[in-house]
Amino acid sequence: MNATIVLLPGDGIGPEIVAQAKRVLEVIAGRFGHTFTMPQHAIGGNAIDSCGDPLPEETLNACRNATAVLLGAVGGPKWDDPKAKTRPEAGLLRIRKELGLFANLRPTKTWDELLDASPLKREIIAGTDILFVRELTGGIYFGESGRRPHPSGEEAWNVMIYSTGEIERVVRVAADAARKRRGKLTMVDKANVLEASRLWRQVAERVVREEYPDLEYNVVLVDSMAMHLISKPREFDVVVTENLFGDILTDEASMLPGSLGLLPSASIGSSGPGLFEPIHGSAPDIAGKNLANPLATILAAAMMLRYSMSMNTEADAIEDAVSRVLKAGHRTKDIAGNGPSISTTEMGDLVVEMLRQ
């Protein structure tokens, strides 16, 4: 198969980790007889620096025409001025919106070989396997916002707004996924307070009742979910929720497997290229030091092969190589605890080596 994979390294550790994922994809192409063309484009802070726009037209066009997009991370202290005209994150939000990527899949699974890397107790987290489906192009992230004068200074607002259609389509993605897994779907909202959540509850319940009566379905309030996630994470299979709740809960959930550095994510729409990225940020504190964990990005590349190109064998090969590297005891700093650690490029070398075997 011929595929065009647009690489968007972005800022901070982005270029270092995407470089390792690219090597892995090259090995896969060689081993399985594919041709991957992997042009690189600017996004985020570096794009602001080079052309004043966190999502240049040229980048967006390249993404629209791609088979899939692999992104590193965006943002950093250099572009954090609250008064700045634009921010790196605006580029990420725009690309999600422009490509119609309304569903963000964030699988969170503990690795047996890493149970002690988590700050949580092994007996609580062992066996955790949750797929979060976060709504990605609506809600408070994209609702009306503004500021106006106020007797105390100013006031500012952001509106959380959802339509029936936006809720239905993401609930279907989650419910379809639940059918292929353990058949359990949890919808998380704040329906005791928010009107937008009450619409979510009504619509999700109807979709599940009419189209997915075979699923075991329940609803949990988001504050309660924050607690259940660390007290009984094994109870959950697929969790669907709105944009902001999903953002927060998935960072919390990343502590179950022990490190943000291990978690990939897929953003997909109803058609067109998907976008694949690690769930962690640009980690400016360790950028350029060859310390970052490239595994989340490498696993995001595996998700990309699986979801965008139906290359299940190839995706399995990557996931298996990562698992064997971890089993052999190799650790980057974020998952090493007090033990010895290896660099970003060494971790890349090891995965590539395993893939060649």
From the list Mn ion, ligand IPM, none, partner contacted by residue 92 (C-beta under 5 to 8 A by kind): ligand IPM
Closest residue to Mn ion, Cβ-based? 247
CB of 80 to Mn ion, least distance (A): 16
Residue from 28, 15, 86 nearest 278 by CA: 15
Alpha-carbon span 251 to 268, nearest angstrom: 20
Phi (first) and psi of residue 89, to 5 degrees: -60, -30
- In the complex with ligand IPM, which residue's Cβ is closer, 230 or 244? 244
Concatenate the DSSP letters of all residues of 210-256 into one string: HH-TTSEEEEEEHHHHHHHHHH-GGG-SEEEE-HHHHHHHHHHHTTT
- In the complex with Mn ion, which residue's Cβ is closer, 250 or 332? 250
Residue 259 makes CB contacts below 8 A (sequence gap 6+) with 114, 117, 293, 334, 335
Number of residues that bind Mn ion (CB under 5 A): 1
Alpha-carbon span 159 to 145, nearest angstrom: 6
Catalytic residue, chosen from 223, 285, 316, 320, is 223
From the list ligand IPM, Mn ion, none, partner contacted by residue 89 (C-beta under 5 to 8 A by kind): ligand IPM
Alpha-carbon span 139 to 162, nearest angstrom: 6
CB of 247 to Mn ion, least distance (A): 4
CB-count exposure of residue 285 (10 Å: 0-12, 13-18, 19+): exposed
Among 11, 53, 166, 247, binds Mn ion (CB under 5 A): 247
**SS3 at position 80:** coil
Residue from 129, 9, 120, 116 nearest 59 by CA: 9
Q: Is 247 assigned a catalytic role? A: yes
- DSSP β-bridge partners for residue 35: 2
Catalytic residue, chosen from 49, 176, 251, 349, is 251
Among 53, 189, 242, 247, binds ligand IPM (CB under 6 A): 247
Q: Is 184 assigned a catalytic role? A: no
Q: Is 307 assigned a catalytic role? A: no
257 to 286, contacts with ligand IPM by CB under 6 A? 279
Q: Is 223 assigned a catalytic role? A: yes
- In the complex with ligand IPM, which residue's Cβ is closer, 42 or 93? 93
166 within 8 A of 138, measured Cβ to Cβ: yes
Alpha-carbon span 85 to 293, nearest angstrom: 32
From the list ligand IPM, Mn ion, none, partner contacted by residue 185 (C-beta under 5 to 8 A by kind): none
- In the complex with ligand IPM, which residue's Cβ is closer, 140 or 351? 140
Upper half-sphere CA count for residue 322 (Cβ side, 13 Å): 26
Closest residue to ligand IPM, Cβ-based? 89
Find the part of the chain contacting Mn ion (CB under 5 A) among 22-30, 103-111, 133-141, 242-250: 242-250
CB of 6 to ligand IPM, least distance (A): 18
Q: Is 176 assigned a catalytic role? A: no
CB of 270 to Mn ion, least distance (A): 23
Catalytic residue, chosen from 141, 162, 212, 217, is 141
Site string for ligand IPM, 83-102 (x = CB under 6 A): ------x--xx---------
* Per CB under 6 A, 105 contacts ligand IPM: no
Residue 116 makes CB contacts below 8 A (sequence gap 6+) with 122, 258, 337
Distance of CA 329 to the CA centre of its chain: 25
Which structure tokens are listed for 207?
A: 């979709």
Catalytic residue, chosen from 190, 217, 237, 334, is 190
Catalytic residue, chosen from 11, 53, 237, 247, is 247
Site residues (vs ligand IPM, CB under 6 A): 75, 89, 92-93, 247, 279
Binding site for Mn ion (CB under 5 A): 247
What is the set of active-site residues?
A: 141, 190, 223, 247, 251
